[in-house]
Amino acid sequence: MAVTRHGDPQAFFAAAARMVARGVATATVLASWRDWIAREPPEPDEAPYLATYVDDAGAAGLAFRRRDYAVRIENSDDAAAVAFARDIEADWPQLQGVVGTLDACAAFARAWHGLTGRAHALRFHLRSHVLTEVNPVPNPSGTMRAATEADVFWVIAALAAFIVEAGLPDEPTGAAELAPRGIERDEIRIWDDGGPLAFARWTPAGMDTARIGPVWTTRHARRRGFATALVAALSRELLVAGRREIALDTDVANPTSNSVYARVGFRPLCDFYHYDFIDR
């Protein structure tokens, strides 16, 4: 069977719902996407790529992409990954990259090289985590508070610094749009100790789950427990507000952030990868 593209996001999420049983991480990712599209509907000239694949042999997969981001392939068997590569190449030969499990990304990348001649390079090896109960953590000086309009320039600078330090494919200039929107929606928390020292953003992922990220601390305030305390306090706030699970992703290459989240109570679910496509 061919790849099915869904022009209606709700039709895509309805079709995808039958496949999310393969993993909790996929369910939270899809819920985050559903909320993102509901809060920020696509512009008339921005049709997101939303596709499903199921064949007679039982292979299955989901693929979704917005704007100039990498395509994310979830629950995708090799056959589905290859089919998505063939389907996408006709419209987006300059695709930024692919995100998914190792086998699926490798299958997609091999097919992409055969179709376009473009090679791939690993940008991130990532790990999904989930929390249902917050562990006790030390309380450094200061306290968590919601970011306000008075913080907007600090948050813009902090978010831009995070994008650069984390090596994300996003342009740092995008922080000027993202930060005010996050403050307006009450999604950004700051650890304040005589001034802002760290920030964390949360976003909804369905009715029962919230996702935390990014988290960033100013250089002069690092290794003093502010990020740990901030993530713990934000997670506790979200659980008290009725969320049953808190999800987040980490870069496996960053042992500091992984240890921070483990202390707070996050447990790993699965690993996934982000490949960039490059011209050689």
Q: Which two tokens stand for residue 198?
A: 């760290």
Assign 267 a pLDDT band (cuts: 50, 70, 90): very high
Assign 1 a pLDDT band (cuts: 50, 70, 90): low
Residue 81: exposed, middle, or buried by beta-carbon count in 10 A (0-12, 13-18, 19+)? Answer: buried
pLDDT of residue 86: 96
Phi, psi of 208 (to 5 degrees): -105, -10
- Condensed to tens digits (0 to 9), the pLDDT of residues 101-134 reads 999 999 999 999 999 999 999 999 999 999 999 9
Q: Which two tokens stand for residue 9?
A: 């996001």
User: Domain ranges in the chain?
Assistant: 4-126, 134-264
- Condensed to tens digits (0 to 9), the pLDDT of residues 201-211 reads 999 988 889 99
Strand order in the sheet with 97-100: 4-5, 49-54, 60-65, 71-74, 97-100, 267-278, 119-131, 245-251, 209-217, 196-204, 188-192, 143-146
Average pLDDT over residues 124-145: 95
Rounded-to-integer distance, Cα 58 and Cα 50, Å: 20
Phi, psi of 193 (to 5 degrees): -140, 80
Rounded-to-integer distance, Cα 62 and Cα 31, Å: 13
Quick check: 57 pLDDT over 80?
no
Rounded-to-integer distance, Cα 120 and Cα 246, Å: 32
Contact 250, 270 (CB under 8 A): no
Mean residue pLDDT of the chain comes to 91
Rounded-to-integer distance, Cα 218 and Cα 271, Å: 28
| 244 CB-near residues (< 8 Å, 6+ apart) | 132, 208, 209
- Condensed to tens digits (0 to 9), the pLDDT of residues 232-241 reads 999 999 999 9
Q: Which residue has the higher pLDDT, 182 or 34?
A: 182
Residue-wise DSSP of the chain: ---EE-SSHHHHHHHHTTTGGG-HHHHHHHHHHHHHHHHSPPPTT---EEEEEE-TTS-EEEEEE-TTSPEEEES--HHHHHHHHHHHHTT-TT--EEEE-HHHHHHHHHHHHHHH--EEEEEEEEEEEEESSPPP----SSEEEE--GGGHHHHHHHHHHHHHHHT-SS-GGGHHHHHHHHHHTT-EEEEESSSEEEEEEEEE-SSSEEEEEEEEE-GGGTTSSHHHHHHHHHHHHHHHTT-SEEEEEEETT-HHHHHHHHHHT-EEEEEEEEEEEE--
Q: Which two tokens stand for residue 52?
A: 């499903």
Quick check: 87 pLDDT over 70?
yes
Q: Give the residue from 126, 123, 82, 83 showing the smallest Cα distance to 101.
A: 126
pLDDT of residue 182: 94
Assign 44 a pLDDT band (cuts: 50, 70, 90): confident
- The β-bridge partners of 275 are 98, 122
In CATH, 134-264 is 3.40.630.30? yes
Lowest mean pLDDT among 74-78, 134-138, 179-183: 74-78
Quick check: 58 pLDDT over 80?
no
